[in-house]
Amino acid sequence: MSLSIQSNSLFSFNRTLSNENIKHAIESSSKEEATDIGIWEKIKDWFCGSNTREALEKFYELTHNNDELNTNSMVKKIVAFYQLKEMASPIYQDKFEASITQNEDGIYTFSFSIKDIMRERLLIYGTSNDICDIKRKELTNNSELLDNNTVIHEGIDAALSKVKYDNERNKLEGITSANQGRVGLHLLSDKTKQEMAIDQSLLQRWITLQMKCFDYYAIQRSSLDSTDGIDITSVIGTKNEWVYHFAESIDDAKKHTKKILAKIFNDFADYLHKAKTDTNINKLYEESELLKKIDSHILENNKEYPLTSEYIKKLYSQIENQSH
């Protein structure tokens, strides 16, 4: 079935996207192919004040690159569906259906359809895929966790190097009192904090991830909130309330991501503690695939974890000696 899209001009002419147009966009292998329209279609767009290419681009966005979605890519799809609905003529807008469902901690499903035009599709997104994106982010002090004065005059690395953990007071040096609660110390076990007090590089890695996590989700919310036509609070109680639920899922995903990062750090600290006290180190190591992955990451990035890296090398040597 076709879809009528509204004119952007003073004239009340609407354009019709045929079923063939829509099918072509959905089945195209690239955005350029999906939005390629003939000269006659461009003339009709000019005359009617419509934008066929933009509508086709949104169909393409909604139906492509839907594997291993993260919150960043979901914002684009949420915005595409919302804007496509707004482009449609009023009599067609009731055909647009969408919802956000929480499946488990940090995992959500965005379901959407356009009656008689696009069958229901389910897109899963959330924390696990977000972590990969967060690690790749450039480090900034937009979160203002670090002392701005030091960042401006000495650089972000210098400010980060001044952060230390006081185990007796359970506080961070180099972080203001107002920001102590924002770095997620409450998520870390006593063993983890003890290791961070010994190995400053481990602490710095935790602070770095907290800063990147803040930036990542702040950007997603800002991108959603700044989209023309979207007012998060005004959609409550309307058929567009799913947009509000998506905004909530961003905030919720941030909390779960921080918990997962804390679990990784806590598991690693527990491993270090057991390795120091358990005589059967080889058995302990063989039982944990997660710890092997953590070790590999630390050894590959030994400049970031100098003390911990040296400790793991010694541990490997000890394991090898036990096996002979």
- Confidence at 294, pLDDT banded by 50, 70, 90: low
Question: Where residue 156 falls among pLDDT bands split at 50, 70, 90?
Answer: very high
31 membership: H or E segment, kind and range: helix 31-34
Largest CA distance in the chain: 85
- Report percent pLDDT > 70 for the chain: 78
| Owner of token pair 């203002």 | 144
pLDDT band for position 309 (cuts 50, 70, 90): low
Arithmetic mean of pLDDT, 297-314: 61
The length of the chain in residues reads 324
State yes or no: pLDDT of 123 exceeds 60: yes
More confident residue, 15 or 112: 112
CA distance 64 to 152: 42
Residue 228 has pLDDT above 80, yes or no: yes
**69-85: average pLDDT:** 95
Mean pLDDT, rounded, for 158-169: 92
Rounded mean pLDDT of the chain?
83
Question: 54: pLDDT confidence band, cut at 50, 70 and 90?
Answer: confident
Q: Say how far apart CA 282 and CA 275 lie, in whole Å.
A: 9
The first and second tokens of residue 38, run together, are 């003939």
Residue 114's DSSP bridge partners are 96, 118
Encode pLDDT of 233-285 as tens digits.
Answer: 899 999 999 999 999 999 999 999 999 999 988 988 887 777 666 655 455 44
Task: Write down the pLDDT at residue 202.
Answer: 87
Domains and CATH numbers, the chain: 3-129 (3.30.2440), 132-323 (no CATH)
Cα(86)–Cα(5) distance, integer angstroms: 9
- What is the rounded distance in angstroms from the CA atom of residue 65 to the CA atom of residue 72? 13
The residues, any chain, with a CB within 8 Å of residue 261's CB and separated by 6 or more, are 131, 184, 206, 209, 213
Place 41 in a pLDDT band, splitting at 50, 70 and 90.
Answer: low
Cα–chain-centroid distance for residue 116? 32
Burial of 149 (0-12, 13-18, 19+ CB in 10 A): exposed
pLDDT of residue 135: 87
Q: What's the confidence (pLDDT) of residue 321?
A: 59
> 56 is written with which tokens?
């086709």
Q: Please check whether residue 55 is in contact with residue 17, taking contact to mean a CB–CB distance below 8 angstroms.
A: yes
Please say if the pLDDT value at position 211 is more than 60: yes
- pLDDT band at residue 293 under the 50/70/90 scheme: low
| DSSP notation for 159-200 | HHHT-EEETTTTEEETS-GGGGGGTTGGGS-HHHHHHHHH-H
Strands (E), the chain: 3-5, 15-17, 96-104, 107-114, 118-126, 164-166, 171-173
Taking the mean position of all CA atoms in its chain, how far away is CA 28? 27
Gyration radius of the chain's alpha carbons: 26
Q: Which residues does residue 98 pair with via DSSP β-bridges, in sequence order? A: 112
Lowest mean pLDDT among 159-168, 213-222, 263-272: 263-272
pLDDT in the model for residue 116: 92
Over residues 152-176, mean pLDDT = 92
Mean per-residue pLDDT for 167-180?
A: 89
3-state DSSP call for residue 233? Answer: helix
